[in-house]
Amino acid sequence: DTGVSQDPRHKITKRGQNVTFRCDPISEHNRLYWYRQTLGQGPEFLTYFQNEAQLEKSRLLSDRFSAERPKGSFSTLEIQRTEQGDSAMYLCASSSPATAAYEQYFGPGTRLTVT
Amino acid sequence: QKEVEQDPGPLSVPEGAIVSLNCTYSNSAFQYFMWYRQYSRKGPELLMYTYSSGNKEDGRFTAQVDKSSKYISLFIRDSQPSDSATYLCAMIRSSASKIIFGSGTRLSIRP
């Protein structure tokens, strides 16, 4: 499968714990995006990387959230001191340098449940 | 007020019917307009995109954009049960990186 992959697919954690998600983009896609989707809503943009540089962050990305893409390949999204309001689907997408940013390919998402 | 408004449905139609899905938006800077399909517990899948105003057809799907009215539509002809999913309209400014999504319309095609 050469699509965007995310791990884990589902994470259940207790309030106050830290969690980390991983995203592997499509090979040779230099742009990587994180979105969050809550029930009944569309995805909301969190952050964007071009290669290893984090170029844009949403106000939704509070200081408890941090994203990295150390070698310009896979990315991690960490949430510290999780809250029940963090329960959502976290989606990763990637796009090619040869296409415009509208052509983003999404992974299957990581569903986070905070109890 | 949200930048993109979309009727959440649910919308239920019989197999073979023509489906019309719509969104309105407020930001005139949007240049690319997309439709994504999302099956339950899956990531969104890009169906079609349109640049600026106009129509675009791809098989049973037609996308329309009217920038003067800030209104976009997706038509599905000869709808099939496999079309049952949530449809998300989305848009992006030229040179921007973040896509702005509608809240999605849940569609069910009855056999």
Q: Which residue has the tokens 């517990």?
A: B41
Nearest to B92 by CA among A102, A35, A59: A102
The neighbour count for residue B69, using CB atoms within 10 Å, is: 9
Confirm or reject contact between A100 and chain B (CB < 8 A): yes
Give the pLDDT of residue A97: 85
Chain B nearest C-alpha distance from A49 (Å): 9
Q: Can you tell me the mean pLDDT for B97-109?
A: 95
Distance CA A99, CA B109 (A): 33
First to last CA, chain A: 33
**Is residue B65 exposed (0-12), middle (13-18) or buried (19+ Cβ within 10 Å)?**
buried
Give the per-residue pLDDT at A61: 86
**Hey, is the C-beta of A8 within 8 angstroms of any chain B C-beta?**
no
Q: Specify the pLDDT at position A1.
A: 53
| Model pLDDT for residues B9-67, shown as the tens digit of each residue | 899 999 999 999 999 999 999 999 999 999 998 999 999 999 888 899 999 999 999 99
Residue B111, C-beta contacts closer than 8 angstroms, at least 6 positions apart: B15, B81
Give the pLDDT confidence score for residue A2 in this predicted structure.
74
Q: Which portions of chain A are predicted below pLDDT 50?
A: none
Residue with tokens 């309030």: A15
Q: Are B34 and B49 in contact, with CB atoms under 8 Å apart?
A: yes
Q: What pLDDT is stored for residue B100 in this prediction? A: 96
Residues in chain A within 8 Å Cβ distance of B34: 102
